Structure 1
Amino acid sequence: MSQETQNWTIDDAEDLYGVKRWGAGYFSIGEHGNIQISPNHRKPDVYIDMAEVLAEMEAEGIQFPAVIRFHDILRSQVEILNETFRDTIETAGYEGEYVGVYPIKVNQMREVVEEIMDAGEPYNYGLEAGSKPELMAVMAYNENPDALTILNGYKDEDYLTMALLGRHLGRKMIVVVEKFSELEMLVRLSKKYKVDPMIGLRSKMMVRSTGKWSSSSGDRAKFGLSIAEIVNAMEYLKQHDMLHCAKLLHFHIGSQISDIRKVKEAITEGARLYAKMVQMGMPLEYLDIGGGLGIDYDGSSTTTDSSRNYSTDEYVADVVYGVKQICDLEKVAHPNLVSESGRAITAHHSLVVTNVVGEINPGATDFDITVEEGEHVLVSNMRELVGANDLHPQERFNDAAAYKQSAYEAFKLGILSIREMAKIDTMYWLVLTEIHQKLDEETRQIQELEELEDTLASQYLANMSIFQSAADTWAIGQLLPIVPLTRLHEKPEVRVSIADITCDSDGKIGKYIENNSISDNIPMHRLQRGESYPIGMFLTGAYQDVMGDMHNLFGRLTEVHIFSHDDEPGAFYIEEIVPGHSAEKVLETMQYNTDYMAKMVKKAIDKQIRKGNLAPREGVRWTDFYERCLAGSTYLRYDKKA
């Protein structure tokens, strides 16, 4: 063990992976080198050791990959957001209340919605729906008559009729009008069913956000009414004697707002519009500032797409004081404040845990490169570069690249044998590895040599599907922290990128958090034969849990729901295990008849038995094996590194 490795500390690991920077107080590295979790913000000194969680999962027979949900983190985030608003409102002398809602599109999992509603009950925390199926869910789960149900998205008659049913049930269901025709339909239906709706109007904001979701605002936004349409809506409601139904103004400038200045601009514009509408005679009571409260995915506290340059306290203060100032200047009553902060509520509570099942290292081929009589000159030339540390690294690199290209052309023409090509390829990677190891500060600045680090990086094969468990990393380049769950007290000595087990070249992670910057690969530990190497992908609770597809027919992962409890061993217990999709389930989703499939395979096996190619007992074993695989997981069954 080198002196540098011996001097490695937990602080070094923290600097490298930045766990505390993006962990929001919930995640850190323990003294034994394992990720630890402090899921309850009211008990910050109670920690759960990830190694103990993994051991209990193994004892329960839970296979990787799996989603681990820390429900106490969900509760903590609900409490923190609501109490921050309440405390700031009291300090500011603000005369309205905060009545937030959770937008279930961020994570519609029933267990998540139930936990949020239970935690939010003391705060009258409600739900938001953006489609008919989501409305059906929130009608069943938001039973608090004092909590709001905000209805966004485009709507048809069934959607609006269901909202009116909610009004009959005594619920505070606010239909947010996205286009003028919805208002006309809603007025007609409310008269038909003889019930007053609660109406919200969504404004197209002039202020534009930044980042991936900036198109949510501005004149070309998909949703919302222009200023002229808002005035027309007011006149329309007056004509139908329903102006008293107008309760809310809604705006939204985008998800994951990274720059607090955009929040300030939006609050100023939204509050001004609210005040002017009230002065015109609209009896509004609520100002819904939409979503956008960001998550610091990379821990940099900057305005990059994967970060934010503000705290939750600052965000809330800017909302409360910003609205108060405008309303005081306009001499209108302070509205009740609504926000739809789904990402901030859910992101931290969930992570994907999987194991590394293999390594792809282009320079690790074990092939005999011993000199043979009569070998081709290209083989000899490449061999002369092995160990030639006296050559300048740039010259040595250029020669190696030239010999490799010449060998490739010679092989295509049949001049080189396959063994000679194998030797050249093996020696080429050996030379690149030697060059990289000998680089100094000066030669490292040469671009081609600087890129050797990426060229020589291994690929670790993770037992998961990026398309199922981290769709945003592939679709929009979302950054998610990836960290070894154990061995963090050891110095990681291998640079790697993470590839999944799908049959797709896009099935890989392209960006990593390293030393407070973003890299194309990340240091990790060498794999040890016979030992599992578990890694975690963090902050997957928002969107990633529900956006996955069936690429390669990899289904949903098994879920492990964990609660902290002081009196339990390890300060936690597994409250529920939700099995992932079986192969049978995902095949049936794609309209395969698995009973028919099993029947046809058995028929083929029976045919081989009749021909004498299979013994009857062997045929029965193969039939059972096929049926067992249908009932089993879609993912690899490796428990340890092969």
Structure 2
Amino acid sequence: MNKLNNPSSGNKEFSSNELASTALNSSWTIDDAEKAYRVKRWGNGYFDISECGNIHVSPRYDQPDLKINLREVINEMAEEGIEFPAVIRFHDILRSQVEQLNKTFRAKIEEADYEGKYLGVFPVKVNQMREVIEEIVDAGSRFNYGLEAGSKPELIAALAYNTNKDSLTVLNGYKDEEYLRLALLGLKINRNIIIVIEKFSELTKLISLAKELNIAPVIGLRVKMMVKGRGKWESSSGERAKFGLSIAEILNAVTLLENEGMKDSIKLLHFHIGSQLTDIRAVKEAVQESSLVYSKLVQLGVPLEYVDVGGGLAIDYDGSQSTNDSSCNYGLEEYVSDIVYGFKQNCDLESVPHPNIVSESGRAMTAHHSCVITKVIGEIHPSGTQYATKKSTSEHIIVTNMRDIENEMEQENSQEVYNDICQLKEQAFQAFKLGIFTLDELAKVETMYWRILNRIETQIKNEEFIPEELREISAMLSSQYLANFSVFQSAADSWAIDQVLPIVPISRLNEQPTKLCSLVDITCDSDGKIDKFIGEDTVASNIPLHQLIPGEDYFLGIFLTGAYQDVMGDMHNLFGRLNEVHVFSYDDDPKDFYIEETVKGSSVENVLSTMQYTPVLMAQVIKKDIDKEVQRGKIKPREGVNLIDFYEECLAGYTYLKS
């Protein structure tokens, strides 16, 4: 079964207005929750909503009945004193994705009577965390699944962790002399290294070093494809692509290597048309073009053995199974089939051997295995503050008019009421700016304005036709839920490239969500918010969530964060990395899981040290100042000791809010 894209249930999704109406006027079911959050559709078979209303995780594709209650994981974390926000990694999902990719390629190769092999590599840049690399290398060992490195630090890591002599280590990215020396070092210790030439000048450096070190390199040539990808990164391919050689440069490279007696070193043809390819037609076109380039080079006597199709295997972030930037219109099986059968057909037509196929799928391997869990710690609502609006003597006529509208409004004149109160509110602000309106009067107008909007929203919910302006009232009245996390650290793509990440309550999904919300984080930056969510046809600006219950924790999960999000977070506001736990499934455990490891997130002294502060000296400064105040009698000695201890505890503590 293809787990990378689950089929749609065929049920109609709710719009934001329909969700609010359904939540208030009908019996909410798990099916309604699924329509709202599309968990099965983006969950890839790994996530679903249980009958008890909690998110369940099935981390093993071959054991669908093994389910982990995510709320139980969170409860166990809390019992162990692990503070939130936190990252939860399901390492079994990593293994499942690696196994499925390799098994699908092997099955298609056998089905097609394809004569080459599949030797995939995981691009380290997608998630450089050691635990992730270790798990992927271990899961891929029986498939000879290797690594791809695009920088010197990544190459250094790959040399140490990809020790399987039968798996590839593909080296991309621009290379200086030190990078190339490291690559040749790898060849000397029997690593299966392929050095991909991105720029013609790299080739002359490599030839010189290979002669100096007396070692034959294994060379890949990256072709600058004419076909362009689809999606956010389509500009990374085509004639203006950052990487790769033109056809003329490739032929010149072949000639140069032949003249140097190194033509036999050319083993791989590489191309890449972009990440997150949303449209399968781009893959088909790329296979057509690259297979012809491969065939013609082989016919010229170039001893190519591999074709690297690059990355781009997409995941369906929004569950729409479309060509939206956050989705894709194909699944794993179709992707693999188009590559295998495409190369077979074109190579047979050109009478050349079938190449070994290499792919660099990273996003699809890692995205699902990691999620961010954050606690909602408050609500910001535009009409949440009430103010006494009782009539006073000599009040301004604008206040009186607003009160009269509130007292006399009827259901059938909602549009007229809306037009009138908008005008009155604007007049009130103008009057205040001219100095003829008091703060008390302005507060009364604001309070009545928001009360009237709430009444209009209630009145129009069940109407068949709602005027365009009135449809905007739900968004105007939507709450902002304050969540204990940093968008910049934990959901960087949401802020930087408008990536839609699935966000779902961890529990209470069997209850009616009655609030339309956006999310704001605890940073002091106005961009620290998420207001792009899975919508019915387009991206929605709000998400349906539940009313907060005093004294009861309300957790949200930000899912599909295992690709790039884990490693792209910055030090904005000095929040640093999150606490994280590594969860493994275990069928014999009553809860079907155990927490294998806890990795502490950044402490305050960690992030300050990163920014060149010296926490020890900072603590000494505070201690001296407190001692001075003790000597002056402004602070009592015992209080002084407690204050010093408190400052030092804060230095050692978690950077996020304690809630």
TM-score when scaled to structure 1? 0.98
- Cα distance in 2 between the residues matched to 1:369 and 1:444: 33
Q: Which residue of 2 aligns with 1:13?
A: 33
Corresponding residue to 2:622 among 593, 601, 623: 601
Matches within 5 A, 1:13-92: 13-92=33-112
- Cα distance in 1 between the residues matched to 2:152 and 2:334: 35
Question: Residue 539 of structure 2: SS of its match in structure 1?
Answer: strand
Q: Which residue of 2 aligns with 1:293?
A: 313
Name the CA shift for 1:443/1:602 in 2 (closer, same or farther; >3 Å).
Answer: farther
- Deviation for aligned residue 1:211: 1.6
Q: Which residue of 2 aligns with 1:429?
A: 450
The answer to whether the Cα contact below 8 Å between 1:387 and 1:431 also exists between their aligned partners in 2 is: no
Q: Which residue of 1 aligns with 2:517?
A: 496
- Cα distance in 1 between the residues matched to 2:66 and 2:94: 16
- Cα distance in 1 between the residues matched to 2:404 and 2:78: 51
Name the CA shift for 1:110/1:509 in 2 (closer, same or farther; >3 Å).
Answer: same
Matches within 5 A, 1:164-313: 164-313=184-333
Q: What code does the residue aligned with 1:492 have?
A: P
- Deviation for aligned residue 1:607: 1.7
Q: What code does the residue aligned with 1:202 have?
A: R
Question: Residue 529 of structure 2: SS of its match in structure 1?
Answer: coil
- Deviation for aligned residue 1:15: 0.9
Question: Residue 287 of structure 1: SS of its match in structure 2?
Answer: strand
Name the CA shift for 1:362/1:440 in 2 (closer, same or farther; >3 Å).
Answer: closer
- Deviation for aligned residue 1:440: 5.3
- Cα distance in 1 between the residues matched to 2:537 and 2:584: 31
Question: Residue 530 of structure 1: SS of its match in structure 2?
Answer: coil
- Cα distance in 2 between the residues matched to 1:388 and 1:278: 84
Q: Does 1:454 align with 2:475?
A: yes
Q: Which residue of 1 aligns with 2:4?
A: none
Corresponding residue to 2:398 among 372, 378, 382: 378
Runs (4+) of structure 1 exceeding 3 A deviation are 2-6, 440-445, 514-517
Q: What code does the residue aligned with 1:438 have?
A: Q
Q: What code does the residue aligned with 2:329 have?
A: N
Question: Residue 255 of structure 1: SS of its match in structure 2?
Answer: coil
- Cα distance in 2 between the residues matched to 1:356 and 1:151: 43
Question: Residue 408 of structure 2: SS of its match in structure 1?
Answer: coil
Q: Does 1:320 align with 2:340?
A: yes
Which segment is superposed worse, 123-132 or 389-398?
389-398
The answer to whether the Cα contact below 8 Å between 1:18 and 1:514 also exists between their aligned partners in 2 is: no
Q: What code does the residue aligned with 1:483 have?
A: V
CA shift digits 1:268-326 (9 cap, x unpaired): 10111011111101101000000000000001110111111011000000000000001
- Deviation for aligned residue 1:425: 1.0
The answer to whether the Cα contact below 8 Å between 2:23 and 2:514 also exists between their aligned partners in 1 is: no
The answer to whether the Cα contact below 8 Å between 1:15 and 1:516 also exists between their aligned partners in 2 is: no
The answer to whether the Cα contact below 8 Å between 1:299 and 1:516 also exists between their aligned partners in 2 is: no
- Deviation for aligned residue 1:5: 6.2
Which segment is superposed worse, 388-397 or 137-146?
388-397
Q: Does 1:635 align with 2:645?
A: no
- Cα distance in 2 between the residues matched to 1:631 and 1:100: 43
Question: Residue 620 of structure 2: SS of its match in structure 1?
Answer: helix
- Cα distance in 2 between the residues matched to 1:389 and 1:52: 49
Q: Which residue of 1 aligns with 2:484?
A: 463
- Cα distance in 2 between the residues matched to 1:439 and 1:237: 75
- Deviation for aligned residue 1:388: 3.3
- Deviation for aligned residue 1:396: 0.9
- Deviation for aligned residue 1:124: 0.2
Q: Which residue of 2 aligns with 1:553?
A: 574
Q: What code does the residue aligned with 2:484 have?
A: N
- Deviation for aligned residue 1:389: 3.0
Q: Does 1:614 align with 2:635?
A: yes
Name the CA shift for 1:48/1:515 in 2 (closer, same or farther; >3 Å).
Answer: farther
Name the CA shift for 1:469/1:3 in 2 (closer, same or farther; >3 Å).
Answer: closer
Q: What code does the residue aligned with 2:647 have?
A: Y
- Cα distance in 1 between the residues matched to 2:536 and 2:505: 15
Corresponding residue to 2:128 among 103, 108, 114: 108
Q: Which residue of 1 aligns with 2:607?
A: 586
Q: What code does the residue aligned with 1:28 have?
A: D
Q: Which residue of 1 aligns with 2:380?
A: 360
- Cα distance in 2 between the residues matched to 1:499 and 1:423: 28
- Deviation for aligned residue 1:117: 0.3
Q: Which residue of 2 aligns with 1:479?
A: 500
- Cα distance in 2 between the residues matched to 1:137 and 1:338: 20
- Cα distance in 1 between the residues matched to 2:591 and 2:387: 48
Q: Which residue of 1 aligns with 2:422?
A: 401
CA shift digits 1:589-610 (9 cap, x unpaired): 1111111111111122112212
Q: Which residue of 2 aligns with 1:562?
A: 583
- Deviation for aligned residue 1:387: 4.2
Name the CA shift for 1:431/1:6 in 2 (closer, same or farther; >3 Å).
Answer: closer
Q: Which residue of 1 aligns with 2:148?
A: 128
The answer to whether the Cα contact below 8 Å between 2:460 and 2:466 also exists between their aligned partners in 1 is: no
- Cα distance in 2 between the residues matched to 1:401 and 1:394: 11
- Deviation for aligned residue 1:490: 0.1
Query: For this pair of structures, how many residues does the alignment match?
Result: 638
Q: Does 1:412 align with 2:433?
A: yes
| C-alpha RMSD of matched pairs (Å) | 1.4
- Deviation for aligned residue 1:376: 2.0
The answer to whether the Cα contact below 8 Å between 1:18 and 1:516 also exists between their aligned partners in 2 is: no
CA shift digits 1:538-567 (9 cap, x unpaired): 000000000011111111001110000001
Name the CA shift for 1:444/1:57 in 2 (closer, same or farther; >3 Å).
Answer: farther
- Cα distance in 1 between the residues matched to 2:121 and 2:403: 68
- Cα distance in 2 between the residues matched to 1:443 and 1:308: 34
TM-score when scaled to structure 2? 0.95
Question: Residue 86 of structure 1: SS of its match in structure 2?
Answer: helix
Where structure 1 has 5 or more consecutive residues not aligned to the other structure, the ranges are none
Question: Residue 591 of structure 2: SS of its match in structure 1?
Answer: helix
Q: What code does the residue aligned with 1:11 have?
A: D
- Deviation for aligned residue 1:515: 4.5
Q: What code does the residue aligned with 2:357 have?
A: L
The answer to whether the Cα contact below 8 Å between 2:374 and 2:483 also exists between their aligned partners in 1 is: yes
**Sequence identity, in percent?**
60
Q: Which residue of 2 aligns with 1:98?
A: 118
- Cα distance in 2 between the residues matched to 1:66 and 1:451: 35
Q: What code does the residue aligned with 2:439 have?
A: I
